[in-house]
Amino acid sequence: MGTKAYLMVKMEMSYARDGHTDGMKELKAMPEIETVEPVSGDYDFVIAATVDAPVRVASVASEIRAKEWVKNLDVLKVEPAAPNPFLDEVCSTPGGECVRWCVQCGMCSASCPNVGKMDYSPRKIIALIRAGRRYDVLTSNSMWVCASCYLCTVRCPKDVKPTELMHALERLSFHHGLRHGATSTPAMYNAFVNSINNNGRVHELGVMSKFYLKTNPLAVLKMIPIGLKLLSRGRMPLKPRKIRGINQLKTIIEKANVLGGAQ
Amino acid sequence: MRYYSYFPGCSLEATAVAYGLSTQAITGALDMELIELEDWNCCGSTPYGSTNELESLCIAARNLALAEKTGLDLVTPCSSCYTTLNRANSQLREYPDLKGKVDECLATAGLEYKGTVKIRHLFEVIFNDTGLKTIESKVMNPLTGLRVAPYYGCQLVRPEPSFDNQQNPQSLDRLIASLGAEPVPFPLKDRCCGGSLIIPELDLALGLIHQLLESAGSNGAQCIVTVCPLCQTNLDAYQGMVNSKFGTSYNLPILFFTQLLGVALGIELQGLGLDKGVISAEKVLAPSVTMAEPAT
Ligand code: SF4
Ligand code: SF4
């Protein structure tokens, strides 16, 4: 379980007047620090930080003390952090382990081509996970509009791998049956997976038909012209192709089902 | 002659038949042989990995187990298969837990995967193993004057660092130049086409495709060349929809790099699947193709 610490910081006189905002920014950039509040009186800031073990409070404190604009720092209180089972769950899901390393720089969100369509940007999703907001995260549409372009992943300075995180959240959302009402991506994914489980290969026409039937049969009208163009060019086979080893594949999948470890 | 194990992927049996045809048509000229992996199954792609981790690794691992027996590198022309199979490989390395379970599942089917298969993208293989020098020497129809936008898409150079810059790749530009054509500046060359979100999130994907067409078109491209079946379908089949949604009039043929190679190498055109495109490439290729006639 984590540890929560409250730290009080006094600035050097020469920085106190103009350095306030810069100092706050610097503190907020530290991954362990959750909030920084300016206060008046003997101290300039009160900081709330969460670390994974009590001993880490000392290292955070000395890191802050080492800043040249810090005159002194006192530890006000150290207590067990409120449990965050959702954070633990995400961290124990393959792909979700790295959210603790995020420094909230926002590079992922700034790189994301689909951020405009997301309920919460990738950076915010991570902040929400760390705040334990399980329901908000798993019922959001964010992961369902991620197109796996991996731009966030190659640009993240802390190697958090937001793309993998998005996939982990999709699996958790499936697993818990929590679903965003307006996204139909899960229905497409289901149709896709079924097609593989039945034939060993994806049959695109089958996936599309199943998807539209499930979500919006009328929308199919819009797709007919494209479908016909592909059909006339031999790009849309009507029948699925079954692999010869389909029973072998089914045996493997059944065993995986028994062993679990779905997420 | 170089030999490879070949994983075409499901799209090459459907929307991207032209990619499969043109790939097979050029291998001879490039002194390589692609031996199709016996009875391969779908790699699982993003949808499976986003639904169930263990099952998705198992179905990818069946392919890897089959490929391991051949002892050859596994080559795929599909960027999504490439990323998915590579991801399975690294997950199996990084999560011994999952690997143990996957081993158990494979064992029920009499299969075993040790983890030795190297997965490669067809483009990377042609770029590195064949090499531009060799390709240049084999060009029969230089594509002089053809302005081509090199479209890498997302999953050729990301997420793992491999053979080219991950945000500003150059290899496809150089291949195009080696065929005598002119690679145009294409700022969005590594950006997303929406992938399979084209089905559930049509408007979002159309927006992305629109930006790509605009980026290529405004730089004078006469066609776009891609290395990915999803990119080709999205940009080709949905271009009309983009035009009606955004009031534009793009008419950019979207070619697979293997088709462009085939034309330049003087491969018989019928074998290249050029008639499969929704947007015909006939006009833009006409100058290079007619130049070919006297030679035959
Ligand atoms: S880019 Fe990485 S470190 Fe920055 S906010 Fe995103 S996940 Fe966090
Ligand atoms: S991988 Fe997903 S979350 Fe990351 S930038 Fe691309 S679309 Fe956005």
B281 and B159: one domain? yes
Question: What is the C-alpha separation between B145 and A146, in angstroms, rounded?
Answer: 38
Helix, strand, coil: what percent of chain B each, to 5? Answer: 55, 10, 35
Look up tokens 């490989």; give the residue. Answer: B89
Bridge partners (DSSP) of residue B225 are B150, B255
Final residue in a domain of this structure, among B63, B95, B122:
B122
- On whether residue A223 sits in a domain, the answer given is yes
Residue B253 in contact with partner chain A when CB distance is under 8 A: no
What is the rounded radius of gyration, in angstroms, for the C-alpha atoms of chain A? 25
Atom of ligand 1 lying closest to residue A155 CA? 1
- On whether residue A262 sits in a domain, the answer given is no
pLDDT of A263 over the 70 cut: no
Question: What is the C-alpha separation between A237 and A182, in angstroms, rounded?
Answer: 30
Chain B: closest CA distance from residue A150 (Å): 6
Q: How far apart are the first and last CA of chain B?
A: 26
Final residue in a domain of this structure, among B62, B97, B122:
B122
What integer best gives the mean pLDDT of chain A? 92
pTM of the model: 0.88
pLDDT tens, residue by residue, B73-88: 999 999 999 999 999 9
A70 and A96: one domain? no
What is the structure's pLDDT at A50?
85
The CATH number of residue A125's host domain is: 1.10.1060.10
- On whether residue A55 sits in a domain, the answer given is yes
The CATH number of residue A39's host domain is: 3.30.70.920
B55 and B113: one domain? yes
Q: What is the mean pLDDT of residues B208-220?
A: 98
B16 and B141: one domain? no
Final residue in a domain of this structure, among B78, B104, B122:
B122
The residue range of the domain holding A47 is 3-80
A101 and A118: one domain? yes
Burial class (CB in 10 A: 0-12, 13-18, 19+), B215: buried
pLDDT tens, residue by residue, A1-32: 678 999 999 999 888 777 788 888 889 888 78
Final residue in a domain of this structure, among A176, A194, A215:
A176
What is the structure's pLDDT at A75?
93
Final residue in a domain of this structure, among A80, A99, A123:
A80
Q: Which residue of A has its CA nearest to B275?
A: A233
Q: What is the mean pLDDT of residues A172-177?
A: 93
What is the structure's pLDDT at A197?
96
The CATH number of residue B252's host domain is: 3.40.50.11810
Burial class (CB in 10 A: 0-12, 13-18, 19+), B11: buried
B234 and B280: one domain? yes
Q: Which residues line ligand 1 (CB under 6 A)?
A: A 102-108, 122-123, 126, 156-158, 160, 162
According to DSSP, residue B128 is labeled I
Question: What is the C-alpha separation between B90 and B73, in angstroms, rounded?
Answer: 16
Distance (Å) from CA A163 to ligand 2 centroid: 6
Of B102, B191, B276, the CB nearest to A113: B191
B14 and B105: one domain? yes
The residue range of the domain holding B31 is 2-122
Task: Give the total number of structural domains in chain B.
Answer: 2
Task: Give the total number of structural domains in chain A.
Answer: 3
pLDDT tens, residue by residue, B104-139: 999 999 999 999 999 999 999 999 999 999 999 999
pLDDT tens, residue by residue, B134-190: 999 999 999 999 999 999 999 999 999 889 999 999 999 999 999 999 999 999 999
Question: What is the C-alpha separation between B225 and B208, in angstroms, rounded?
Answer: 17
| CA separation, residue A198 to residues A179, A256, B110, B167 (Å) | 25, 16, 20, 38
Contact check, Cβ <8 Å, A249/B41: yes
Residues of B in contact with A235 (CB under 8 A): 14-18, 233, 276
A206 and A172: one domain? no
Q: Which residue of B has its CA nearest to A176?
A: B51
State the pairing for strand pair B119-121/B74-76: parallel
Residues of B in contact with A187 (CB under 8 A): 200
Q: Which residue of B has its CA nearest to A163?
A: B159
Which residue has a Cα nearest atom 3 of ligand 1? Answer: A102
Size (chain B), residues: 296
Alpha helix positions (H), chain A: 13-16, 20-28, 55-65, 85-91, 107-111, 122-130, 134-138, 151-155, 162-176, 185-199, 204-215, 220-232, 246-259
B145 and B267: one domain? yes
Contact check, Cβ <8 Å, A226/B51: no
